[in-house]
A and B are shown apart, each in its own frame.
Chain A
């Protein structure tokens, strides 16, 4: 009892509503859409969109661990997803079909465990070259890995070969999206908890300066592999959920383009920005799906062109000054603070004053998950005066 009390005090001490805002949003969406869905107010196509957004965000979060926080480029995350999808589906179809028909929920959970574990094992394998390779070279290895996995699945008859695997026990569309959202919430919690711990700091330290991280006692090999494994497990679970939404799916679905699509979500959301990744993953999925439904018939060939144009526009105007100003004024944090103040005022009938001591102590820097590449720096065509950046030169290894 006493232990619980300490736990609660410690929790309260570090609690900041803006750190938890995304949890509330996801949980709120789950409850809202769950209720509406149960009442039959949602169209089937909308439920499918929710499903796609859900697993899209899960996989984007997985990749954001590797790209945004570890600072390594992976172009093979669709492969982890496909491992989860095919293994999960295979187990549901062939290993425990009785369970799949009698209690599909348990079967799906089991499939997620198996798919996640299998993808995690492959994450370990791909983490090994990451110890020696960096940047572009690792990207090439992961790219090759993705293609190898695709070709393997195309040639294994058990998984249906190139024609793909049939999902015999497809989960009920009216409830699968709730499960996906629940998994999304869990993923989000795990990713945030990882990042805001000493382990997360070690990972970002490796990203910022590997040599300094080593000399500060960070076990670089351990963390690189750990991040790849965790990321792969999450992507694998996302793959199982993807499989649950499909009647049949082919290995060709998980190609290079799909990996790039996930990467686009992460980059557009801002490297190392979890909330941004979630929002951009939702938006990109939405655009993709909408384009598919709007452009029918002969126009369907234009889909990729429009998609590319929209992406280019998004990237360019993502950092437009007016939009930036708007965002800094109406961002999630401020919104959360406003809602929180309103609630506090409503329930306690006193004005909520931010405690200045706590603000300084935990607020400001817990919420700021460091971002690697400032997008405006990357994209700005303006001339950036170098005068305020003192030139320190670059030394050799360990200088």
Chain B
């Protein structure tokens, strides 16, 4: 069996009396494309926010490659290897495309360069700066954004902004990539293209991906396994085909 990348045990959070998520148990194996679906308000993004440290879980734990990450700050969790994108694209809009990616690269071990070294431009500064730039260009090339690298991120078309967000997340060298509704607001053709991109990212970067999605075509097309959330609890888990045929799931989505 493959290596376990992410494991959550009874993960949950309540806001006052509202149990936004409870007893969420996920096991994501290496190189897997894992889908998290559910109707609006089911707690999918809450789970993402728990996994990335935006919220601290009120019960349960989660671990990445066997290491417990509960209680760490967002930046620390990112350094441990969980990167994410957002449902509403959150780019650094007033920075150029390449700089967006370079912000992500900054934490990698190979680009260490402290504040004093930067302020006084020691040889180390030039070394890391040039290396980072080359690496960023490499990454942008993979996503077909090389041409636009000097544009402002806000000037990119919607589909490319999504890609840039993924590129920025990958720049942090994650072990697990969380995609929050990557197909939101896309037309069928763009969705098709996105599916290819996601698969490509998985294969090229040897990545494990956990994604939230409403687009059943996308979910059915690329996910290996699914977990369905409803009212903050797990409704059903398993292989994609089985889950999508489950009458409980259909009921949750469409009503009786």
Contacts and interface: CB of A to CB of B under 8 A. Distances in A.
Contact of A13 (B49, B52, B130): B130
A6 B168 CA distance: 30
A197 B75 contact: no
A197 B103 CA distance: 10
A198 B128 contact: yes
B125 interface: yes
B91 A215 contact: no
A395 B87 contact: yes
B94 A204 contact: yes
Interface stretch (B58-66, B113-121, B232-240): B113-121
B29 interface: no
Instruction: Determine the interface band of chain B, counting residues with CB < 8 A from chain A.
Output: 35 or more
Contacts of B75: 214, 217-220
A392 B186 CA distance: 12
Contacts of A399: 45, 86-88, 180
B8 interface: no
Interface in B103-148: 103-107, 111, 113, 115, 118-121, 123, 125-130, 132-133
Contacts of B132: 198
Contacts of B128: 198
A179 to B, nearest CB: 21
Interface string B80-104: 0001101111111111101100111
Interface residues of A, number: 49
Interface in B18-44: none
Interface string A197-221: 1111110110111011111111110
Interface of B: 45, 48-49, 52, 54-55, 73-75, 78-79, 83-84, 86-96, 98-99, 102-107, 111, 113, 115, 118-121, 123, 125-130, 132-133, 149-150, 152, 158, 168-169, 171-172, 180, 185
The 9 closest A-B pairs by CB, nearest first: A197-B118, A10-B126, A217-B78, A212-B90, A208-B92, A214-B74, A370-B94, A398-B54, A217-B107
6 contacts: A198-B106, A198-B128, A201-B102, A204-B95, A204-B99, A217-B107
Interface of A: 3, 6-7, 10-11, 13-14, 190, 193-194, 197-202, 204-205, 207-209, 211-220, 226, 272, 360-361, 364-365, 368, 370-372, 390, 392-395, 397-399
